[in-house]
Each structure stands twice: as structure tokens, then as C-alpha cells.
Structure 1
Amino acid sequence: MKQSTQSYTVTEAKRKLEAYCAYQERCHKEVVQKLRGMNMIPLAIDTVVSHLIEHNFLNEQRFAQSFARGKFNIKKWGRNRIVRELKIRDISKYNINSALKEIDINNYHKTLDTLAKKRLAQIKEKNLYKRKKKLADYLLYRGWESHLVYEKINQLVRT
């Protein structure tokens, strides 16, 4: 991220960050990073962040829920990957658990099934064990739980 040499008043920063948060859900960490990039002093950062929270521009729980829904529905990520990414953004355990409740369990299993079948069709490997490994690596990388992955592989790849 490039550092700007321009300085902002607290009021200007509030307006700029209101627009930044209104455009897309943001976590506290992203907002603080943006403010640091704007060369704001720590006291001003705290003032702006508390203003954004007070006026509901910034809400960690709403961010976590939106993030989990989006990454599952659009990128087809599993729970492990979503949790890992939320932890990187310093989201609390409570908010992470509340975000995971946004994912419907039936839809979750259906998505895993669809994703596994699609990927299996793309794998051209002839060796059965290498085929299984490639499919497992792909699904595990995307954050699907290992017990679900191996259960699905054994169901799809028969000897």
C-alpha cells in the first residue's frame, strides 16, 4: 500500500472512511490500516474508528457474517478456510462462530459434492491413488474439513 503525503483533518478522514465502509463491509483491521496509510495519528485513528462504530458504518459481526456468506457462496470455500481468513483479520471467536451459522449445512454438503465431482472430472491422472491425492489436496486447500473430504473421495473414487 502506498503512503500518501497528504494530511487529513479528523472530519475529512471521517467522511472518507464513511464512504470506504459504506461501499463494502470492512473489518476494524482494514479501517485502521487505511487510516495509517492516510498518516493519521493514533488518537485520530481511535476517534474515527469509534465514530464509525457509533454510526454503524463499522460492525465486526456484520462483516464476519457477510464475509462467510460471500466466500462460501462465491468462492466455494470450506469452513476451515473461512475461519483461517477471519482470524487473519483479527475477528473474535464469538463473531467467527456467528458467521459460520450463516452457512446452511445441507447447502454446505451439496456444494462439497458438486465441487468434488467437478474437480474429479478435470483430473486426468490414471493412477487411482494420485487421483485421490490431487482431489484431496484441492479440497483441503479450499478449507473443507478433512473427514468430509476423505468421506467424499471414498464415495466418488472407487477401485
Structure 2
Amino acid sequence: MQTEVLKLRHYCAYQERCHAEVREKARQLGLRGDELENAIAHLVEENFLNEERFAIAYAGGKFRMQQWGKKKITMALKQKQISAYCIKKALAAIPPEDYWNTLLTLATKKYDLLRSEQYLKRQYKTLQFLLQRGFEQELAREAIEQIAKKEE
């Protein structure tokens, strides 16, 4: 087996990778054309490279560690050239209850930080924060309404 393929195996074994990352690494190692395609096919066969597994791990990590919403995760996966099917699977792997609880926690923290603001401005800024994090507008509004009702 070529040393380049062995290096790619180690590269994939270290952490989950998407096809685009592996292609880039293979080019850096000097693989071109059929050599590159054969190396990627070999990695897929040997289960070192699995786009669905990558998408699920990536989405889960971004949600848990950086508290990103589904929209932001979707955009990041699209940038990595992940298929729509794998993106859908990855988003489905995020537990709805955890998603809602994270959204509510983030909204509450931001809303509390903006105590000195007027009521509407406070809601607007909280909504913008949640949208920037990649949460869906309807869910974000629902969370803000729930928090505002508690304060009354």
C-alpha cells in the first residue's frame, strides 16, 4: 500500500472527516486524478471515510459544544459539500428536547443580560442573538414569549 494512502488512513482515523477535507489532504500529499479517486474509494470501502457518520458527529459537536442551531449547522455542512440526505440524518440525530432546552437556556441568559433595555428592544435583541446562533425564527419567538410571560 502506498505511503500516501496510509497517511490518509491515519488522517481519517484521528477524527471524522468529510470527503472534501480528505480530497484536499490527498492533493497536498501529491495524489491526482485516478490515484486520488482510488484512494478515496479505498478509504470508503475500509470505513475510514463515511459522510453520514461525519455529518452526525459534526452536527452533534457543534450543537453540544458551541450551541449552534440547526440552520447554522446546515449551512456549515453545506459548505463542507455534505449531501442533503446526510444533513437531514445529522439534524434528526439531535434530540428535540435537548434542542429546545438549549434554545431556552440561551434565550433566558441573553434576555436577562438585557434587563436595562426597553421591553420590545430587549425581545428584538434576544431574537437577533438566537437567529445569529442559527435557531429557527418561530422557535426563537416561542422561547422569548415563554420567558417574557414568566417575567410578568
**Alpha-carbon offset, residue 152 of structure 1:** 1.3
Q: Which amino acid in structure 2 is aligned with residue 13 of structure 1?
A: E
Deviates more, 1:43-52 or 1:22-31: 43-52
In 2, distance between residues paired with 1:91 and 1:154?
35
**Alpha-carbon offset, residue 132 of structure 1:** 1.6
SS of 2:39's partner is helix
In 2, distance between residues paired with 1:75 and 1:65?
15
| Equivalent runs, 1:1-150 vs 2, <5 Å | 11-123=2-114, 125-150=116-141
Deviations 1:93-143 (A, max 9, x none): 111111111111111111111111112222355222222222111110111
SS of 1:157's partner is helix
In 1, distance between residues paired with 2:79 and 2:146?
34
In 2, distance between residues paired with 1:60 and 1:153?
36
Instruction: Count how many residue pairs are aligned between Structure 1 and Structure 2.
Output: 150
**Alpha-carbon offset, residue 23 of structure 1:** 0.7
* Length-normalised TM-score, structure 2: 0.91
In 2, distance between residues paired with 1:125 and 1:36?
54
Unaligned runs of 5+ in 2: none
- Runs of 4 or more, structure 1, over 3 Å off, are none
**Alpha-carbon offset, residue 157 of structure 1:** 3.1
Q: Which amino acid in structure 1 is aligned with residue 15 of structure 2?
A: Q
Q: Which amino acid in structure 2 is aligned with residue 142 of structure 1?
A: R
Indicate the RMSD between aligned Cα atoms, in angstroms.
Answer: 1.6
* Length-normalised TM-score, structure 1: 0.87
**Alpha-carbon offset, residue 24 of structure 1:** 0.6
In 2, distance between residues paired with 1:78 and 1:18?
32
Identical aligned residues as a percent? 41
Unaligned runs of 5+ in 1: 1-9
Q: Which amino acid in structure 2 is aligned with residue 81 of structure 1?
A: K
SS of 2:2's partner is helix
**Per residue, is there more helix in 1 or in 2?**
2
